[in-house]
Amino acid sequence: MVTPELSQSKSQFSPMAKSSVRTKPSSCFSDGFLYLGAALMAFLLLWSLWSYALSHSFDPKTSAKSVADTQAHQCVQENPQVNLHYDPPDETFYDDQELSYSVEKPIKNWDEKRKEWLKHHPSFAPGARDRVVLVTGSQPKPCKNPVGDHLLLRFFKNKVDYCRIHGYDIFYNNVLLHPKMNSYWAKLPVVKAAMLAHPEAEWIWWVDSDAMFTDMEFKLPLRRYDYKKHNLIVHGWEKLIYKKKSWTALNAGVFLIRNCQWSMDFMERWSSMGPMSSEYEKWGEIQRSVFKDKLFPGSDDQSGLIYLLYKEKSLMEKIYLEGEYYFEGYWVDILPTYDNITEKYTEIEKEDGKLRRRHAEKVSEQYGVFREPHLREAGIGKDSWRRPFITHFTGCQPCSGDHNQMYVGETCWNGMVKALNFADNQVLRKYGFVHPDLLDSNTVTETSFDYPDDGPW
């Protein structure tokens, strides 16, 4: 036990008891130690950073790759295919003050100009070979036929549906881009302007307002036309041009034209037979003198195209007359086949569960591939029970109502309704509904889970 006195005595001689004497030197030492430690740590940190910088010098490519890798791991990219927000300041053909979209002004070196534009817009380069822009249109004024505007709207909807399913762009024009190039000649100024407006597209596809897609799964066989580098695709028959000299040897209401200099030059020649030419009347006389079955005196685009092929057979090296499938088909021949086609396709789907499976519209092309093995025996084109690719209501004139007198008006209108609903069923199916009666546009039926195995047909 320690006595109070001893305790007091010890406290006087304890080191802690001497704090009043030693506090200042001890504080200085402690602060100095802390300062030195902090300085040492700072030095080591700077040394580490400097060493890392020497061994990992900045590389723009490495940096860009790092950013790209980061973006690649994002769940959703805004637009993984093309950059719609990028137009560099580099000069292109668009900066040429002499550039004209008019069908009267020729374009030179178009292949080089397109190539240069794609070079400055690299995100558009992948897939350019298969890129298609569909172009269609109608007259500026309302239709004379009371149901004309409604029918044209449905024809346009049909084209929009097809383009959406297959990823094609579409342009609808309803003004004359050249005041004299009216009626059937109005398409050529629009096609040329579309070429200039879409240098990213390899093909411009003209489809008349009275033509509709009736096989929503069929896709243009573009490789077929690349094989011999054809630049213009049109539905026609060579023997009718050179042997029978008929003005119906092909149909110019639907054509696919490559976006290239050859096409620019060819359209310049083709357009020179139209109303903008001072020799327009003469061309009408020439066409009628060659094609004895031509019914009217004026020069038209179809007779003009056939005449160019007739007089210059070497054009066949670049112009492909498609006759194997319905690149466009005459509605009178096609319309009676719809019911049998519907029955055949229903039988196929009853046998193959893959084709009955519900799926998103965006993956429709895959199901078209699934169906192909079942269609091998169907044939293609005339006398086939495959869905016709395009049904063309030539001669019906849905807008003016001045249909060819060989048809009864109701035959045209009812035929259009049936064809539109036939095509619409292929679209509505992805949304869970169908028209049970192709002549009734108002009524739809919700499809059952395993439709059409127990559907309304």
Residues 201-233: pLDDT tens digits?
999 999 999 999 999 999 999 999 998 899 999
pTM, full prediction: 0.81
pLDDT class for 48, splitting at 50, 70, 90? Answer: low
Short-list 349, 245, 344, 357, CA closest to 303: 245
pLDDT class for 54, splitting at 50, 70, 90? Answer: very low
Cβ neighbours of residue 222 under 8 Å, at least 6 residues apart?
129, 130, 132, 203
Determine the pLDDT at residue 345. Answer: 96
Residues 116-140: pLDDT tens digits?
999 999 999 999 999 999 999 999 9
Look at residue 23 and tell me whether its pLDDT is greater than 50: no
Question: Has residue 283 been placed in a domain?
Answer: yes
Question: Has residue 60 been placed in a domain?
Answer: no
Same domain, 314 and 422: no
Question: Has residue 68 been placed in a domain?
Answer: no
Question: Has residue 176 been placed in a domain?
Answer: yes
Select from 281, 307, 324 the last residue of a domain.
324
d(CA 127, CA 149): 36
Short-list 267, 272, 268, 308, CA closest to 287: 308
Same domain, 193 and 296: yes
d(CA 333, CA 388): 10
d(CA 185, CA 91): 33
Same domain, 430 and 386: yes
Phi, psi (rounded to 5 degrees) for 83 = -100, 100
Same domain, 364 and 305: no
Question: Has residue 29 been placed in a domain?
Answer: no
What's the number of domains the chain is made of? 2
The mean pLDDT value for 232-253 works out to 97
Question: Has residue 289 been placed in a domain?
Answer: yes
Look at residue 19 and tell me whether its pLDDT is greater than 90: no
Determine the pLDDT at residue 67. Answer: 38
Same domain, 106 and 149: yes
Same domain, 157 and 125: yes
* Residues spanned by the domain of 337: 332-446
pLDDT class for 144, splitting at 50, 70, 90? Answer: very high
Question: Has residue 282 been placed in a domain?
Answer: yes
Same domain, 310 and 359: no
Residues 153-163: pLDDT tens digits?
999 999 999 99
Question: Has residue 136 been placed in a domain?
Answer: yes
Same domain, 278 and 383: no
CATH code, 320: 3.90.550
Same domain, 182 and 138: yes
Short-list 304, 318, 331, CA closest to 398: 331
Same domain, 305 and 360: no
Same domain, 419 and 350: yes
101 CB-contact burial (10 Å; exposed 0-12 / middle 13-18 / buried 19+): middle
Cβ neighbours of residue 236 under 8 Å, at least 6 residues apart?
249, 250, 251, 306, 321, 322, 323
d(CA 277, CA 288): 18
Same domain, 191 and 275: yes
H or E element, residue 250:
strand 250-258
pLDDT class for 80, splitting at 50, 70, 90? Answer: low
pLDDT class for 40, splitting at 50, 70, 90? Answer: low
Q: Three-state DSSP class for 253?
A: strand
Residues 346-393: pLDDT tens digits?
999 999 999 999 999 999 999 999 999 999 999 888 889 999 999 999
